Structure 1
Amino acid sequence: MEKIFQRFITTENSNRICEEMKQKTETFSSTKIVLIFIYLLTYLSIFLLIPIECKGAPNKGDFFTYEAREYITNGEGGYAGYDEEMKSSGRYEIVEVNGEEAVVHYTWAWTYTSDTEPTAHASRDDRITFSRITGEYISGFDLDENIPGRKNVWFWINPNVEIGERVKILDKEYEVTGTRVTVWSKYLPRTAIELTYSGTFHRDDDYGRFTATYTDKYYMDIESGYIIAERYYEHDEGYSEGYYSEFDWIFEFDTTDSSYDRNLDYLLFSGVYILLPLGVVGLVYGTYYLVRWAPRHVTTMNYSDLVIRRQKKGKPLPTLCGRTSQFFEPFLEDMVNKAHSAGDRVAVAVSNNYLIGIAIYHKDAKIGTILANDTDVTEHLRKYIGTKDFFSEVRHKPISPPSQLGVYGAFGYASYGYPKMPTADVDAYNIYETHKILVNESIQPEAYDTSIVRIMKKEDLPAVCELSKKVYKLKGEKWFNALLKHGDLGVVAILNGKIVGFAFATLVNEYARLHSLTVAPAYRSRGIGKELMRARLSLLSNLGATWAMVEIADWNLPSLRIATTFGFQPRGKMYVETIRTKRVKRDIVRR
């Protein structure tokens, strides 16, 4: 709070006077020295009699608003189930300061309700005057009574107090029980000075004859001394209308707005409103994660001990048995490692420690890849990774045809949730599009134009991502970084200093998989796609590759022509299967 009173003497004045005295002492007579001493003593006496404003002295414009609630609860005997409540609100503001005196304008209103009395209302608009130094009322009417008479205001104290000190509030001496305690006021933890008063009294009034024990606590702002909250608790035991009765009388007062800070306990606030919610969210997510990704033991028509589980990063795949994929088995480990690096989800289906199926959900492309011949295995993997659309090597039927159901019969089929027996030509999923799998079993080095195509560098990735965004509407930063991290061969086509095309190839031993050939729309039909193909084949041949495969959508005739030109022949199909019953517009991007 800004100081109002000025001292009659400052440090500079004291130093000046002492210096003058020092200079004149040698020539002044003893009489003059005595006179000066008396003068200085008088001067200092006047100075000491001037009231010194305390830290946090009230100033004009200081204000607070409040809400309060007084109620009876926990009634027993004659007060069992009894309800009584009074709610109030108000505003106090210092509107005038005259030296030591402060004038407060206040307004308040309350509403009273109970089970036995009619609802009552009251309000008041008035002024009081109190001492800014001692806190005593000087004049006015407050708290429904004519206050003056050696009583102190209830809403302000001198904040320069210590634990154990006595502080007067109204007509009682409260003990300072804490100078930095935390009180919860209006759902916020506030740092405050705590003042406590406890006592016992006997009640003989409309409520009955009771012995009451109570504790009253005031919480004042540590800097200004103004009120933050009050907590009054009273327990009454006695008789009401001849019945033994008990009840609790509680009064809760909280400031709702103020000109002073009402300092927050930031540590507790952070713990309750930041760390605790984060902890709860973390606990919920952790529980969800454990349940969501817990291994699932399932039984299908062909496997009685199938386990669907997440393939953890860095863990080797289960033993391959030739039942997962016709074309991709050499690349499975590499595909899984790249998926983990890109943050994608990977799951496996295992039976007797053998890999029966594998599923990857590519988050950026929002599509899966599921390699499993068995429809039931495929469906369990699809649900596990959470995808609606996925690439697959086979066109899945609902389950084995009826002639192969064996002892399961129709009952066994129904037990898997299918409404009726399938026919042999029924498909389990709808189709978005189909891709050809083309294979070249004798890679030959091809001369390519090195003035256009070169090996991709890490510095090229921003431009590659931008081109990918332009063509496929997704940048794929994580995916492209994963490709280079795990040793994929990347090449770029450059015209006029600008990357206009790119392509990748995966090499595992002597097996290669070509993928992601992309040319900017404005530069197509210029032979750039062929140069990117030549470059990859040449580099792969030099690295020892003898066999290569590529997947191309059936509608992509230009890419199909390029592939066949370089000796690739159709050997299989990839299907984009979906559980959707209605076709939606979306871009299909192969990873």
Structure 2
Amino acid sequence: MTGAGSVQLNHKLFGKALSVFLIVIVTVAFANSASAYAPRNGDFFNYSQTIAVNNGGGSYSGYTDQTQTTGMEKMTSISGSNVSATYSYSFQYSNNQGLSNSSSSSGSYTWSTSNFTYLKGTDHQVGYTNPIYVWFDMDPSLPVGGTFYVLNTQFTVLSKNYSLQLPTEGNKYVQSVQTKGTGQYQRNDDYGFFTASYTWYEYFDPSTGYIIGYNYVEQDNGSYQMQAGSFTYTDNLYVTSTSYNLAPANPPPVNPIDTLLALAPYLIFALIAILFAVVIVIYASRRRRRMDTIPEHSPTPLGAPPSTPLESRIDLGSKPPEQVVIRDVAKVNCKYCGTLIPTTADRCPYCGGPRR
């Protein structure tokens, strides 16, 4: 078909395609907005946090410290996309050089649910550049592979149904959104001047987007008081109670490789013990076989005279016995067996062969 009819048909097809496209966009947008959780007045979570410095080298060789913190974040009022919140925490610090101290802090701030950034004040976040993104909330509707920010670090969604073990709640497993962020920065504080590289895993509630916990590992290399050094800095946080329900989860399936790696020391020990036992058995068997080939000997020489003299049966009476004179007789070798035989013998008394 050509001409005006063809143009009219093309317009109709284009109009239908555009309508379908708009419906799809509206549906997706509605689904995303419907799945996102809107914070409520009174939402809160309590948490326990452990920070540790160890694995020191150079100027930090043998050095360790630990900071134990308990805290709370609570949403106090909601105005559109703006949320007013309060925070409070207390900590105890100690190191292996005998230094220890403790302190606490509290305050208020506001943040936005539209872009998850702090609007006015923070919950004592220091050293970050604007915009600063909240560390305790995310959009749970993000797909696997989706990205977002925590403080100044970009995170990627790894799993939407990750089984997280909560050590603060009897090691039970809960469902979570697993995310990961990595980065690097220059540390310049009481620890010294260091280049810090870190890996950060955060876990969020799939229904609300609020935090469940995180694991942060940082490796620092640099100097302290002009002396080269290095250390590992870890920060682990888990909620202890929440206003939002955490869905229970089954433990993750056991990886056979992980099981073998865990049992490897015991398997190696068992293998060594088995090999040692086999070596002992082989050695004992060969030793017994060699001893069996040695002929046994009588404990006393054959033909040994008796320990007591035989009783004489000769009755000498009153007359002495006649004297018998034995003359030496010449001997020759038997031509059959080689034994010396008297020349007076006709046959060899040993082999029976004739003397001649």
Scaled by the length of structure 2, the TM-score of the pair is: 0.56
Q: CA RMSD in A?
A: 3.0
1:246 corresponds to which letter in structure 2? S
Alpha-carbon spacing, 1:128–1:209, altered in 2? closer, same or farther (3 Å): closer
Write the distance in 2 (CA, Å) between the matches of 1:71 and 1:234.
Answer: 10
1:198 corresponds to which letter in structure 2? T
1:72 aligns with 2:56: no
2:183 corresponds to which letter in structure 1? G
> 1:262 deviation in Å?
2.3
> 1:157 deviation in Å?
0.6
Alpha-carbon spacing, 1:220–1:140, altered in 2? closer, same or farther (3 Å): same
1:216 corresponds to which letter in structure 2? W
Preserved contact between residue 128 and residue 152 of structure 2 (Cα < 8 Å): no
Give 2:44's aligned residue.
63
> 1:170 deviation in Å?
1.7
1:223 aligns with 2:207: yes
1:245 aligns with 2:229: yes
Write the distance in 1 (CA, Å) between the matches of 2:34 and 2:111.
Answer: 14
> 1:148 deviation in Å?
9.4
Instruction: Select the residue among 143, 158, 175 that pairs with 1:177.
Output: 158
Alpha-carbon spacing, 1:172–1:65, altered in 2? closer, same or farther (3 Å): same
Give 2:81's aligned residue.
100
1:232 aligns with 2:216: yes
Partner secondary structure for residue 247 of structure 1 = strand
> 1:119 deviation in Å?
2.2
1:159 aligns with 2:143: no
> 1:210 deviation in Å?
3.3
CA-to-partner distance for each residue in 1:413-448, whole Å, 9 max, x for gaps?
A: xxxxxxxxxxxxxxxxxxxxxxxxxxxxxxxxxxxx
Write the distance in 2 (CA, Å) between the matches of 1:211 and 1:240.
Answer: 12
Give 1:88's aligned residue.
69
Preserved contact between residue 203 and residue 214 of structure 2 (Cα < 8 Å): yes
Preserved contact between residue 139 and residue 148 of structure 1 (Cα < 8 Å): no
Please show how residues 54-453 of structure 1 align to structure 2 within 5 Å: 54-116=35-97, 118-145=99-126, 149-186=130-167, 187-241=171-225, 243-268=227-252
Preserved contact between residue 46 and residue 71 of structure 2 (Cα < 8 Å): yes
Preserved contact between residue 95 and residue 103 of structure 1 (Cα < 8 Å): yes
Preserved contact between residue 192 and residue 222 of structure 1 (Cα < 8 Å): yes
Write the distance in 2 (CA, Å) between the matches of 1:177 and 1:140.
Answer: 30
Preserved contact between residue 140 and residue 147 of structure 1 (Cα < 8 Å): no
> 1:73 deviation in Å?
1.5
1:138 corresponds to which letter in structure 2? L
Alpha-carbon spacing, 1:209–1:166, altered in 2? closer, same or farther (3 Å): same
Uncovered stretches (5+) of structure 1, i.e. residues with no partner:
1-44, 272-591
Write the distance in 2 (CA, Å) between the matches of 1:167 and 1:134.
Answer: 9
CA-to-partner distance for each residue in 1:10-51, whole Å, 9 max, x for gaps?
A: xxxxxxxxxxxxxxxxxxxxxxxxxxxxxxxxxxx9xx9xx9
Structure showing greater Rg: 2
Preserved contact between residue 139 and residue 147 of structure 1 (Cα < 8 Å): no
Alpha-carbon spacing, 1:170–1:203, altered in 2? closer, same or farther (3 Å): closer
CA-to-partner distance for each residue in 1:179-230, whole Å, 9 max, x for gaps?
A: 2223322123232112211123344544344333210111111111000111
Uncovered stretches (5+) of structure 2, i.e. residues with no partner:
1-25, 255-356
Preserved contact between residue 57 and residue 133 of structure 1 (Cα < 8 Å): no
Alpha-carbon spacing, 1:183–1:209, altered in 2? closer, same or farther (3 Å): same
Alpha-carbon spacing, 1:102–1:80, altered in 2? closer, same or farther (3 Å): same
1:222 corresponds to which letter in structure 2? P
